[in-house]
Amino acid sequence: MSFVKLSASALAIAAVSATTAAARDQVQVAGSSTVLPYASIVAEAFGENFDFPTPVVESGGSSAGLKRFCEGVGENTIDVANASRAIREKEVKACAENGVTDIIEVQIGYDGIVFASDINGNSFEFTPEDWYKALSAQIVVDGQLVDNPNKTWADVNPAFPAQPIAAFIPGTKHGTREVFEDKVILAGCEHLGDFDVYKAANGDDKKAAEKACIALRTDGVSVDIDGDYTETLARIDSNKDGIGVFGLAFYENNTDKLQVATMSGIVPTTESIATGEYPVSRPLFFYVKKAHIGVIPGLKEYAEFFVADEIAGPDGPLAEYGLVSDPELVKVQEAVANETVLGGGS
Amino acid sequence: MTDISQTPAAAPAAKPKKGSLFEQDARTKKRNAAESRFKMYGIAAIGIGLLMLIVLVTNIVTAGTGAFQQTFLELNVELKEDKLDKKGNRNIEDIKKVSTFGYAPLIASAIETEVQELGIQTDLSPKEMGKILSKAAQAELRNYVIANPDEIGKTVSFRFLVNSRVDGYMKGRVTRESIANDKSITVAQLDFVDQLRDAGVLYKAFNPDFIFGSDASDQRPEAAGIGVSMLGSLFMMFVVLALALPIGVAASIYLEEFAPQNRLTDIIEVNISNLAAVPSIVFGILGLAVFINYMHLPTSAPLVGGLVLTLMTLPTIIISTRASLKAVPPSIRDAALGVGASKMQAVFHHVLPLAAPGILTGTIIGLAQALGETAPLLLIGMVGFIASNPPDGLVAGFLSPNSAMPAQIYEWSKRADPAFYERAWGGIIILLIFLVTMNTIAVILRRRFERRW
């Protein structure tokens, strides 16, 4: 039957083409969904301006990206991992076990984290203390640790309207959550002096006190969002009292639906984040496998292009999209040019 | 139900009824009422289903049709030699050294000239005027110059995309009020857009690049298209068809016609049905573990996507093929065997051709299912900024990274700029057109060729 022959030959073709997987000619990137928009902007411009094909950028999260990055050296592994946090000691070890020893760390700039609510609702001027008092599982009242009794923002701070507290914060799998806990909740906890109470309650254990500080209430007032910022936006759309945590770039693309709250009196902008006045921000990175430079065409050019002044500089397209440019970009450029690897030496 | 069970018990006790057929007694009335109530429920159920479909379709169409239109600006650009080819020798390598950023001043001065020619009064600087255009304009210009270096020094007419905010303004999504806090566009720029529109050089038009183009970065939603991921889907469907159809048909013919009925075949049968009910994400995890991590096939490749979808489609095809083989009456087999055909000849010459329409229908429905599947593709790296290069050739189509239509739609719906949201809906329209077409073909095939005995 010709039909049998046809399918047999199709099978054969599939098998042959699978085994002759030719040398890869484009850079493969994976990792943080926060870095993804920036990486895709760079990849697109790279494809347009160089004779190399446009790099492929996958999302999936910092941890997943670094895990794939550390799987080994070779064409079947990715060349670059995007991350919204620095690589961890554990991950460097895992990399080394699989033969990925020379890793170039590139810091591309900073990402601001903003608090925004519905455009037609009340406006807020927060401090970290407010967020700690609104969301921590336990707070100190009259020197005693009690379960968080605050129901409205007016309970937290008399200057606020009596709007029910409804916070949409990034879920624990997001890198943003860590920054939120460190720079907002923990900072508020320490400022208020509650940290010392926790410390005393936990027998002078600093780690345990920190943990207790950032333990958030579980009575439904604070909702973990495991999806993307679009989901947070949809939640605020349906609950007008909600206040969400967003990336600066996302907010700037949705200013018709969201109003941003100040933090400690500072309005989040790329400028106020660059100077460090706005407190809630974090560095963004990508990691390059040195062993792949020279093997995968265009890899080094891509890394250099990413941190070039015309791309990552204060007037470049990345800053325009919401990335806070690294004031020490020159050093980063040098490190990339010299292929400086992690862990000292070169 | 209760009526039926009660009637025989009550019947012997009652005397034979004298009433005419035209007179309904109480029990008949009750039964008839129950029947008409049931009909009403049925109609209501269909009504609810239809209503939901109408809501869904109107929602999709209203939200998505905008994506097929895009705002363009006509512009005559002078390709200045001192900017593009300083040495004046038309050496392509020298021309390539001018990056897309170097083309921004050309566009700005072209707009300035056009504004003067049209007699438009504005306080905007040329750079601010240039910002209403898409960033893709610079790339388009550069590609044109590299393809036609002889045009340097001449003035060429272009039709550029404008950026997503201006396009949103033309489509009514962006208003002067909504951009109060927006840093990427000002009210003065919108006024300027109004002037250009009145002058007739800025207008909305059908945008074929949305259907045939490639994905664009987060900064240029206006330039993003679904074409490349459509190719990705196409190559995946080739793989599914080439693998799932022969394997599925062979498996079902053996099970249906040749295999002995014993415990082993029973177990196989039960497991095929189980396989059909396995959530698709499981196949994605399997694909990642087996095809990528163990067999070292390239990630994000349509080949791997097709293999994963094959696993998912196989049970659908096996089940429908077995059903259509079963529907061929045994008399046909008996007649063939009776005139001396071998069992294989009976199956391939008589049973299979008669079952073919049913098999094809099942295959097309299976393919349509696979075409709309997203979950397994998430795990094998087909979501992200992937569909940016159209594949150059058949092998590259199977092996080089690509996305698929549903994965592309999912990716667009996640992006920050609301203009991507519109494109996601537009993508859904295209995907639905494909699905409706495939299902219609399946229905037509069944109507035309299926024989009933």
Q: Please report the pLDDT score of residue A95 as a whole number.
A: 92
Q: Please answer whether residues A326 and A277 qualify as being in contact, where contact means their C-beta atoms are separated by less than 8 angstroms.
A: no
For A151-175, what is the mean pLDDT?
89
* pTM across the whole model: 0.87
Q: Please report the pLDDT score of residue A21 as a whole number.
A: 44
Output the six-digit token pair for B234.
Answer: 């196409």
Q: Which chain A residue's Cα is nearest to B288? A: A68
pLDDT at B303 over 50: yes
Number of domains in chain B: 2
Binned at pLDDT 50, 70 and 90, residue A18 comes out as very low
Q: Please report the pLDDT score of residue B338 as a whole number.
A: 95
Interchain proximity B413–A230, CB inside 8 Å = yes
At B72 the three-state DSSP class reads: strand
How confident is the model over A85-110, as pLDDT tens digits? Answer: 889 899 999 999 999 999 999 999 99
Is B7 contained in some domain? Answer: no
Give me the amino acid identity at A26.
Q
A298: left (phi over 0), alpha (psi -120 to 50) or beta: left
Interchain proximity A317–B135, CB inside 8 Å = yes
**Chain A residues within 8 A of B398 when measuring between CB atoms:** 14, 17
pLDDT at A8 over 60: no
**Domain co-membership, B188 together with B252:** no
**Domain co-membership, A175 together with A246:** yes
Q: Please report the pLDDT score of residue B13 as a whole number.
A: 52
Distances (CA, A) of B230 to B236, B283, B287: 10, 22, 21
**Domain co-membership, A145 together with A165:** yes
* Domain at A245, CATH number: 3.40.190.10
**Domain co-membership, A181 together with A195:** yes
Q: Which chain B residue's Cα is nearest to A25? A: B400
Give dist(CA A97, CA A187) in Å, integer: 37
Q: What is the mean pLDDT of chain A?
A: 87
Output the six-digit token pair for B404.
Answer: 């698929």
Chain B contacts in chain A segment 227-286 (CB below 8 A) = 228-230, 247, 249-250, 252-256, 259-260
How confident is the model over A289-341, as pLDDT tens digits? Answer: 999 999 999 999 999 999 999 999 888 899 989 899 988 899 999 999 999 88
Interface test with B, best of A48, A50, A301, A320 (most B CBs within 10 A): A48
Q: What are phi and psi of A245, to 5 degrees?
A: -105, 125
Interface test with A, best of B218, B359, B410 (most A CBs within 10 A): B218
Domain end residue (candidates: A258, A281, A304) = A281
Distances (CA, A) of B435 to A171, B227, B363, B365, B374: 35, 16, 13, 9, 14
Share of chain B above pLDDT 70, in %: 95
**Domain co-membership, B296 together with B246:** yes
Binned at pLDDT 50, 70 and 90, residue B428 comes out as very high
Q: Please report the pLDDT score of residue B18 as a whole number.
A: 63
Alpha helices in A170-241 (DSSP H): 175-180, 187-192, 194-201, 206-214, 229-238
Write out the residue range of the structural domain in which residue B304 sits: 227-449
CA–CA min distance A216, chain B (Å):
27
**Domain co-membership, B444 together with B351:** yes
Is B317 contained in some domain? Answer: yes
Name which of B178, B183, B399 is nearest A17 (Cβ-Cβ). Answer: B399
Binned at pLDDT 50, 70 and 90, residue A344 comes out as low
Q: Please report the pLDDT score of residue A345 as a whole number.
A: 44
Domain end residue (candidates: B206, B236, B266) = B206
Give dist(CA B175, CA B168) in Å, integer: 8
**Domain co-membership, A271 together with A139:** yes
Q: Please report the pLDDT score of residue B195 as a whole number.
A: 92
Q: Please report the pLDDT score of residue A276 as a whole number.
A: 85
Q: Please report the pLDDT score of residue B12 as a whole number.
A: 53
pLDDT at B247 over 60: yes
Is A52 contained in some domain? Answer: yes
For A152-166, what is the mean pLDDT?
91
At A317 the three-state DSSP class reads: helix
Domain end residue (candidates: B206, B241, B257) = B206
Binned at pLDDT 50, 70 and 90, residue A20 comes out as very low
Q: Please report the pLDDT score of residue A5 as a whole number.
A: 55
Q: E strands, chain A, where?
A: 28-31, 56-58, 80-83, 103-118, 125-126, 138-141, 144-147, 167-170, 222-225, 243-247, 258-260, 262-263, 281-289, 324-325
Nearest-5° Cα angle at B249, B246 to B255:
135
Binned at pLDDT 50, 70 and 90, residue A146 comes out as confident
Q: Please answer whether residues A215 and A138 qualify as being in contact, where contact means their C-beta atoms are separated by less than 8 angstroms.
A: yes
Q: Which chain A residue's Cα is nearest to B236? A: A14
* Domain at B260, CATH number: 1.10.3720.10
Chain A contacts in chain B segment 161-200 (CB below 8 A) = 174, 178-184
Contact B285/A at CB under 8 A? no
Structure-model confidence comparison of residues B293 and B247, the more confident one: B247
Is B4 contained in some domain? Answer: no
pLDDT at B245 over 70: yes
Is A18 contained in some domain? Answer: no
Give dist(CA B231, CA B214) in Å, integer: 10
Interface test with A, best of B219, B238, B285, B290 (most A CBs within 10 A): B219
**Domain co-membership, A241 together with A165:** yes
**Domain co-membership, A207 together with A255:** yes
Name which of B182, B297, B385 is nearest A255 (Cβ-Cβ). Answer: B182
Is B314 contained in some domain? Answer: yes
At A288 the three-state DSSP class reads: strand
Name which of B178, B245, B300 is nearest A7 (Cβ-Cβ). Answer: B245
How confident is the model over B90-110, as pLDDT tens digits? Answer: 888 888 888 888 898 899 899
At B139 the three-state DSSP class reads: helix
Binned at pLDDT 50, 70 and 90, residue A346 comes out as very low
**Chain A residues within 8 A of B415 when measuring between CB atoms:** 37, 230
Output the six-digit token pair for A133.
Answer: 């008092």
Is A164 contained in some domain? Answer: yes
Interchain proximity B398–A56, CB inside 8 Å = no
Q: What is the mean pLDDT of chain B?
A: 90
Q: Please report the pLDDT score of residue B299 as a whole number.
A: 85
Contact B439/A at CB under 8 A? no
Helices (runs of H) and strands (runs of E) counted in chain A: 17, 14
Q: Please report the pLDDT score of residue B315 as a whole number.
A: 93
Domain end residue (candidates: B171, B206, B241) = B206
**Chain B residues within 8 A of A321 when measuring between CB atoms:** 218-219
Binned at pLDDT 50, 70 and 90, residue A6 comes out as low
Number of domains in chain A: 2
For B254-267, what is the mean pLDDT?
92
**Domain co-membership, A273 together with A314:** no
For B126-151, what is the mean pLDDT?
90
**Domain co-membership, A224 together with A118:** yes
Write out the residue range of the structural domain in which residue A311 sits: 23-111+282-338
Is B54 contained in some domain? Answer: no
Domain end residue (candidates: A259, A281, A303) = A281
**Domain co-membership, A264 together with A118:** yes
B315 CB neighbour count, 10 Å cutoff: 21
Is A9 contained in some domain? Answer: no
**Domain co-membership, B389 together with B314:** yes
Q: Which chain B residue's Cα is nearest to A22? A: B399
How confident is the model over B310-351, as pLDDT tens digits? Answer: 999 999 999 999 999 999 999 999 999 999 999 999 999 999
Binned at pLDDT 50, 70 and 90, residue A10 comes out as low
**Domain co-membership, B268 together with B195:** no
Distance of CA A48 to the CA centre of its chain: 27
Binned at pLDDT 50, 70 and 90, residue A13 comes out as low
